[in-house]
Chains A and B, each alone.
Chain A
Amino acid sequence: MQPSFSPAQTSPRANLAGWLYVSPLVVVLVPFFVAPILVVLAASFFATDGFGGLTPGFTLASYVEVLHSALTLKLYLATIKFTVLTWVFTLIIGFFVAYFLVFHVRNQLLAIGLFLLCTVPFWTSNIIRMISWIPLLGKEGLINQALLGTGVIHQPLEVLLFSDLAVVIAYVHQLTIFMIVPIFNSMARIDKKLIEAAIDAGASRFDIMRLIVVPMSKSGIALGTIFVVSIVMGDFFVVKVMSGGGSASVVSAFYEDVGVLQYPTAAASAVLLTLVLVAIVSLILRTVDIRQEITR
């Protein structure tokens, strides 16, 4: 999108036209994003009878309960561990896959074809993709069968499925695409002449990577990071299924609370999680003006 012709272009007419165009978006987001968030915020201050009934009022009891619980810290540490591991793996794989497609595949049609190949599995059910690891990682799965068959191990590895390892594998499997797409987009926009010029000026491969490719892919990396971090931190079913109930995350605990109708505590922990997410996302947005970058 082009930048506006002049920054002072906020005539009442332009304002009205802009708002008219985005009004349908606002009409959906207010009742289905703003209002639910406010409802959760309100519920976090309410009291409960323990059977799902909410008593309007103002009490900090739920926050005290959540913050005092030793479990909360443990859940956050577990969630952060999963988030960081997933982020590192998806970033490394996503960055180099995008780099390969943009800078190494010489035929552009082939590059687009390979790019589409990476996006195809994203078009099928998440849950199905997750459980598709069972025939591979299970106790009698392909990997164990292969390792037993070749005599590398004598006992099936139990750590492969229903473990933290399985959780991270499932996340990386599902989310690397969220890194590839935005990084591919921002890399594809790098003018190849810049790299030619750098080579002519005597830059090494590493210099080009450090001084041109990485800085100019920043917006893609930032956008991908926002997707991956917010999805992992907001997820519960991968953790639940792939850990076999052995691990928990902030949202899986929230889900348990909802299940036993403990709405205020669930709401309080949801508000805390949302604050943490807002902090992380605004930190990322501070390093790069996403709007400027994607509308460039």
Chain B
Amino acid sequence: MSAVLADASKTDTPKTIVPATTKAIAPSKGGRPWTFYVLAALFTLYVVALYGPMFCIYILSFQDIRGGLVFPMKGHSLHWFVDLFTQVRTGDVKGSFDRSIKLAVIVTVITVVVSFLAGLGFRKRFRGDTFVFYMMIGSLVAPGLVLGLGTGLLFQALGLNASWYSSALGAQLSWTLPFGVLVMFAVMSRFNHVWEEAAYDLGASRWQSIRLVMIPVLAPGLVAVALFGFTLSYDEFARSLQTAGSLNTLPLEIWSMTLNVTSPSLYALGTVTTIVSFVVIGASLGSIVLIQKKRGSSAKG
């Protein structure tokens, strides 16, 4: 590597230094250091440990009626999926699933809009910005169960009924918004302000520069915020526990199932929720690709 650099410095023109340096960072051939093999092994182990257990439950959820919670697998059928959605003893899976999806969609929309605006606000220093920032960090690190209890007691004191679309919605936002704003920070740090200034120079209003320059450029980042909002909400447990009122969200339902149900129904539920996550993520990533493609073609045309 140093040889390449030395070569580049001899010629002494920036034009050759740049490609020479990038080549030196990632040489396409040549031996790899021993650390590569050690770290590659560690990485592989990590991924196996990450996925292994989950694949076990996906496989076990397809057992037949004799199936249990451990291997070996007994037959194969969709029995436990049918059981999941029909049996009364497994609770109201369908209803809670429905509520969780609706709640996650509402949370996602609010998180994207509010995080985007807050990201715009934090770009410039204003008096009290540090205070707002630390309030946000506080909301992120506060124990969820404690916040949930506080919100529940607050609603009780105000004589309001706790429900998934009011108290639980707010409690979840206190968790998804700080995440969303932090992601927004990372996204906006890559936004080149020159584009915005160019728009102003061309006579764009603030709203036009946001709508026609910022939003299209930041779109993939906004999708990332949406993805965060959706999955954090869809999976939120501690903050919803005391705030969801009488009707459960899906994680609360799963929680009560882990306490009562000891059949592969539980695993079937895991398989179903995973599929839903993947559909949502696939749609999000697909939309990022589409946005990029559209932008690429419109730039060409």
Residues of A that sit less than 8 Å from B by CB: 1-2, 4, 7, 9-10, 14-15, 17-22, 24-26, 28-29, 31-40, 43, 93, 96-97, 99-101, 104, 106-107, 114, 117-118, 120-129, 131-136, 138, 140-142, 145, 173, 176, 185, 192-193, 196, 199-200, 205, 226, 230, 233-237, 241, 251, 254-255, 258, 263, 266-267, 270, 273-274, 277-278, 281, 285, 290-291, 294-296
Q: Determine if A121 and B189 form an interchain contact, defined as CB atoms under 8 angstroms apart.
A: no
Query: B53's contact among A40, A173, A233, A273, by CB below 8 Å, is which?
Result: A173
10 interchain residue pairs of minimum CB distance: A36-B150, A18-B126, A21-B121, A234-B143, A230-B141, A128-B270, A132-B53, A32-B170, A100-B39, A33-B139
Query: Of B76-84, B127-135, B212-220, B290-298, which stretch is located at the interface?
Result: B127-135
The smallest C-beta distance from B31 to any residue of chain A, in angstroms, reads 13
> Taking each of B117, B142, B251, which has the highest tally of chain A beta carbons within 10 Å of its own beta carbon?
B142
Q: In the bound complex, do residue B151 and residue A36 qualify as a contact, i.e. CB atoms below 8 Å apart?
A: yes
Residue ID in chain A nearest B259 by CB atoms = A241
Chain B contact residues, majority secondary structure: helix
User: By the criterion CB–CB under 8 Å, are A10 and B127 in contact?
Assistant: yes
Contacts A29-B174, A127-B237 given; does A104 touch B113 at CB 8 Å = no
Query: Of B121, B122, B235, which is within 8 A of A126 by CB?
Result: B235
Tell me, rounded to whole Å, the shortest Cβ–Cβ distance linking A53 to chain B: 11
Complex contacts, B186 vs chain A, CB 8 Å: 185, 294
Given A20-B121, A21-B120, A200-B5: A39 touches B153 (CB 8 Å cut-off): yes
For the complex formed, measure the closest distance between the CB of B266 and the CB atoms of chain A, giving whole angstroms: 7
Contact of B125 among A4, A33, A176, A255 (CB under 8 A): A4
Q: Is the CB of A266 within 8 A of B149?
A: yes
- By the criterion CB–CB under 8 Å, are B25 and A234 in contact? no
Contacts known (A10-B125, A117-B47); A29 close to B135, Cβ less than 8 A: yes
Q: What are the residues of chain A within 8 A of B125 when measuring CB–CB?
A: 4, 7, 9-10, 14, 18
A residues near B42, Cβ cutoff 8 Å: 93, 96-97, 100
Determine whether B238 belongs to the interface, using a CB cutoff of 8 Å to chain A. Answer: yes
User: Chain A residue with minimal CB distance to B241?
Assistant: A255
Closest to B113 in A: A24
Interface residues of B in 101-125 (CB under 8 A from A): 110, 113-115, 117-125
Known: A141-B70, A145-B71, A234-B144. A121 touches B50 (CB 8 A): yes
B133-165 interface code vs A (CB 8 A; 1 in, 0 out): 101111111111111111101100100000000
| Cα-based distance from A38 to B24 in the complex (angstroms) | 57
Contact in complex: B255, A237 (CB < 8 Å): yes
Q: Is the CB of B57 within 8 A of A2?
A: no
Given contacts A25-B136, A129-B54, 4 further A-B contacts (CB under 8 A): A106-B26, A123-B231, A124-B270, A199-B1
CA distance A147 to B42 in the complex (A): 22
A contact residues around B154 at 8 Å (CB): 31, 35-36, 39
B142 close to A37 (CB less than 8 A): yes
Report if B181 contacts A (CB, 8 A).
yes
B143 touches A277 (CB 8 A): yes
Distance in angstroms from A103 CB to nearest chain B CB is: 9
* B93 interface hit (Cβ, 8 Å): no
Q: Is B127 within 8 A of A15, CB to CB?
A: yes
Let me know if A22 and B149 touch, CB within 8 A. Answer: no
B2 within 8 A of A: yes
- A234 CB, min distance to chain B CBs, angstroms: 3
Cα–Cα, bound, A10→B130 (Å): 13
Alpha-carbon distance between A29 and B24 when the two chains are bound, in angstroms: 48
- Please tell me if the beta carbons of A29 and B136 are within 8 angstroms of each other in the complex: yes
With A and B bound together, what is the CA distance between A176 and B28 in angstroms? 31
Contact with A along B210-250 (1 / 0, CB 8 A): 00000000000000000100010001011000100000001
Give which listed residue, A9, A258, A273, contacts B124 with CB less than 8 A.
Answer: A9
Distance to closest chain B CB from A147 (angstroms): 14
Interchain CA distance A267-B118 in the complex, whole Å:
31
| Cβ-defined contact, A258 with B242, below 8 A | yes
Q: Which residue of A lies closest to B153 (CB)?
A: A39
A33-B139, A128-B270, A136-B53 known; A19+B126 contact, CB < 8 A = yes
User: Known: A33-B147, A236-B145. Is A14-B113 also a contact (CB below 8 A)?
Assistant: no
Q: In the bound complex, how far is the Cα of B215 from the Cα of A122, in angstroms? A: 27
B1–A196 CB distance below 8 A: yes
- Chain B, residue nearest A34 (CB): B135
B70 to chain A: which residues have CB within 8 Å? 134-135, 138, 140-142
- If the complex has contacts A24-B113, A132-B270, are A127 and B255 also in contact, measured as CB distance less than 8 A? yes
For residue A12, which residue of chain B has the nearest CB?
Answer: B127
B121 — which chain A residues lie within 8 A by C-beta? 17-22, 25
Contacts of A104 in B (CB 8 A): 32, 35-36, 39-40
Point out which of B57, B148, B181 has the most chain A C-beta atoms below 10 A from its C-beta. B57
Chain A residues whose C-beta falls within 8 Å of the C-beta of B36 in the assembled complex: 104
Inside 8 A of B52's CB, which chain A residues have their CB? 136
Known: A25-B118, A31-B170, A193-B21. A40 touches B153 (CB 8 A): yes
The answer to the question of B49 belonging to the interface, with a C-beta cut-off of 8 Å to chain A, is yes
CA distance A220 to B238 in the complex (A): 26
Instruction: State how many angstroms separate the Cβ of B118 from the closest Cβ of chain A.
Output: 4
Distance between Cα atoms of A125 and B130 in the complex (Å): 34
Give the one of B57, B125, B126, B193 with max A CB within 10 A. B126
* Residue B199 at the chain A interface, CB threshold 8 Å: no
